Structure 1
Amino acid sequence: MQNYTIRKYISADYLAWNDFINQAKNATFLFHRDFMEYHQNRFEDYSLIVEDHKGWVAVLPANRAGDEVFSHQGLTYGGLIYKEGLKLEKVIFIFKSLINELYKTNVSRLILKEIPMIYCDFLSDEVKYILFLTEAKLIRRDTLAVIDLSTEIFFAKDRKEGVKRGKKNKLIVKEENDFSAFWNAILIPNLKNKYNASPVHTVEEIAFLKSKFPSNIRQFNIYKENELIGGTTIFESKNVAHSQYISANSSKNDLGTLDFLHHFLITDVFKDKRYFDFGISNEEQGKKLNGGLSYWKESFGAHILTQDFYEVQTKNYTKLEQVIL
């Protein structure tokens, strides 16, 4: 078995880390250090680098809380990141080395939040197989509503009617660089009133991230005449346009606000992407489904893709010792 060295990320690794992420087969801009570190005051970074005698072979974007390491609580998805061409046998040995090192440093559990396959450049289920071998426990499963834009899209009748209402009301969609109007007039009040919650990102944070990733983070607002009535914030990666935030004022159903907006994004702005991801409609760690929200997303022609969360006992590194025949 090849020997691997596991070490924690340090600031001197900034350029090498980002270069590795850019070459990985299962990574997006969310793993860039500028994205990971915007909320560094909220998490104890515990990102790990795996090296062999030739250099870096894998990384794990992660944070630590007590005796648990998470991949990563501040990111939508995560997991072990590696380049295309790395064979399954090596990934098994790399993962064994990683959780063995965690075990030796008094980490009892690794919590993995998998990256959905639509975000990967190549099929990347090596770790899912390894989770089976290590008897990892499935602790959460969310449902994403995803449109495959390479196939013919069928919009439901009520979505088409919403688009017609939007056209009748002469709604206008504008891409804008300023997030403050949408955050302050629409998003924050709606989340407060409906869920007593706040956006994951403050307006200052999303503006900072936009400055770092101008082509990846995009804001689309929708207006009736000159009044802002709704919008969506898109996180755009190589293969996927993802609606990070969707919100509109109380007139949305009468005006067809969100139907008109997303029809435009799907059929025009992002028509050349492979996938459009509406994100999850789950609550309570995946145990509950917001049926109305899921139906609305699916009625754009979206289908369901699951995202799994696993708990790995680090002591189970021994279960990877006698796998290869």
Structure 2
Amino acid sequence: MYTTERYSKLHYDIWNEFVRSSKNGTFLFHRDFMEYHSDRFKDYSLMVFKKQKLVAVLPAHINGTTVSSHQGLTYGGLVYGNKTKLTDVITIYKEMLKFLNENNIETLSLKPVPSIYHKVPAQEQEYVLFLLNAKLVRRDGLSVIQYDSKLPIVKSRRQAARKGSDNNLKIVEESNFKLFWKEILIPNLKKKHNASPVHTVEEIEHLHKLFPKYIRHFNVYNDNEIVAGTTMFLTDNVAHPQYISGQEDKNALGSIDYLYSFLIETFSVKKYFDLGPSTEEQGRKLNEGILFWKESFGARVICQDFYEVTTANYTLLEEVLN
């Protein structure tokens, strides 16, 4: 009853419609978002059908004998529909892994969508990964504010944010990302981490044009000079700062704290505000300074897990269902 096949451009519409109506998919899995960096990754996305009906998709790419739930995305894993139940996911994984194994893929690397991004409970695959003896290879701690039980912002953080107001800082939502990228983000990442943004300014502006409801950008100005900024990624449940940066010598103005007090309030219509991980080196090191800053806004930790599963282990699922 189940068949697995690789995604092709002929599936563009059905893929995107399925992601839109799924219970654990976000706009990151829209083909237009995934394919902006198609030159960096060899796509190996999968689609699982029950008879003729699409029941699951896996955004993925291939490297040697390993298929990964797309490393160009913050999260990935199997995406399925609202009516999909645990027994369905067991069967889907069995058939999908069998397909991979028969196509000489030895390992499937996964980073399931964190639970806060689910529209309804959707951790069936985490249970199935346990059945498959999947190896937990990394765990990140995401600092998250839950709006319906929001913890108070600590006094020192409120004072720092008030400083931004006292200094007459101005927060502006903009569609021009170039100023922030060139004046603040790129220099800061180069200086602190000898790194570059995941997205070039041309890429983020292109994605913003495609997804203006989901990608929004805010700059902070002091006397018309940019001093900080943040690019937000928005899903049904979650507001997530994808990029945060400010001029070091200007942070004394309270620019970052002022901006985040504003953003946390602005997106309180969501269920969660995800400030992202404070972990480094595959989750083995903790940046205490960054974590302290996030927790002072009332954020607390949920886990994002990363797994590797041997495709030949699909046989472990053959005797699970009675």
Instruction: Give the shorter-chain TM-score range.
Output: over 0.9
Q: Distance in 2 between matches of 1:53 and 1:163?
A: 56
Query: Match for residue 272 of structure 2?
Result: 275
In the other structure, the counterpart of 2:292 is: 295
2-structure distance, mates of 1:135, 1:226: 56
Q: Does 1:308 align with 2:293?
A: no
Counterpart residue number, 2:188? 190
- Which residue in the other structure is 1:226 paired with? 224
The code of the aligned residue for 2:248 comes to: S
Relative to structure 1, the CA distance from residue 317 to residue 235 in structure 2 (aligned partners, 3 Å threshold; closer, same or farther) is same
- Residue 320 of structure 1: which of 314, 317, 322 is its match? 317
Q: Distance between the aligned counterparts of 1:279 and 1:249, measured in 2?
A: 21
Of the structure 1 ranges 49-58 and 64-73, higher mean CA displacement relative to structure 2 is found in 49-58
Matched AA of 1:294: L
Distance apart, 1:282 and its partner CA: 1.6
Alpha-carbon distance, 1:271 to partner: 1.6
Partner of 1:208: helix, strand, or coil?
A: helix
The CA deviation string for residues 21-44 of structure 1, in whole angstroms up to 9 with x for no partner, is 011000000000000000000000
Find the residue that maps to 2:248 and give its secondary structure: coil
SS at match of 2:302: strand
| 1:160 equivalent in structure 2 | 158
The corresponding residue for 2:59 is 61
Corresponding residue for residue 198 of structure 2: 200
TM-score (norm: length of structure 2): 0.99
Mapping for residues 28-177 of structure 1, pairs under 5 Å: 28-177=26-175
Deviation at residue 253 of structure 1 after TM alignment: 3.5
Q: CA separation in 2, counterparts of 1:57 and 1:194? A: 44
**Cα offsets for 1:78-126 (capped at 9, x unmatched):** 1110101111111100100000110110110000011111111011111
Check conservation: 1:162, 1:253, Cα contact below 8 A.
no
Q: Is the 8 A contact 1:252 1:258 kept in 2?
A: no
Amino acid at match of 1:24: S
Q: Matched residues in 2 for 1:114 and 1:15: separation?
A: 23
Q: Considering only aligned residues, what root-mean-square deviation do their CA atoms show, in Å?
A: 0.8
Letter in 2 for 1:318: T
Instruction: Please give the secondary structure, in 2, of the residue aligned with 1:34.
Output: helix
CA distance in 2, matches of 1:61, 1:185: 34
Gaps of 5+ in 2: none
1:172-198: per-residue Cα shift (whole Å, max 9, x none)?
100000000000000000000010000
Q: Is contact 1:235–1:243 with CA below 8 Å preserved after alignment?
A: yes
Once the two structures are superposed, what CA deviation does each residue of 1:201-246 show, in whole Å capped at 9, x if it has no partner? 0000000000100111000000111110000000011111100000
Question: Aligned letter for 2:273?
Answer: F
Deviation at 1:252, TM superposition (A): 4.1
The match for 1:235 is 233
Quick one: which amino acid aligns to residue 71 of structure 2?
A: Q
Question: How many residues were matched structurally?
Answer: 322
Deviations 1:128-167 (A, max 9, x none): 0011101000000001000011223300122111111111
Q: 1:54 Cα deviation (Å)?
A: 3.5
Q: Is the 8 A contact 1:58 1:81 kept in 2?
A: yes
Q: Which runs of 5+ in 1 are unaligned?
A: none
Deviation at 1:323, TM superposition (A): 0.4
Query: Could you tell me which amino acid in structure 1 is paired with residue 3 of structure 2?
Result: T
Question: What amino acid is the match of 1:279?
Answer: G
- Counterparts of 1:137 and 1:281 in 2: how far apart (Å)? 22
SS of residue matched to 1:200: coil
Query: Deviation of residue 281 (structure 1)?
Result: 1.3
Identity among equivalent positions (%) equals: 53
* Separation (CA, whole Å) in 2 of partners of 1:271 and 1:225: 29
- Aligned letter for 1:8? R
> Does the Cα contact within 8 Å between 1:176 and 1:219 map onto a contact in 2?
yes
Instruction: Classify the secondary structure of the residue corresponding to 1:293.
Output: helix
Match of 1:25, SS?
coil
Check conservation: 1:146, 1:275, Cα contact below 8 A: yes
What secondary structure does 2:148 align onto? coil
Give the letter for the 1:122 counterpart: V
The 3-state SS of whatever aligns with 1:20 is: helix
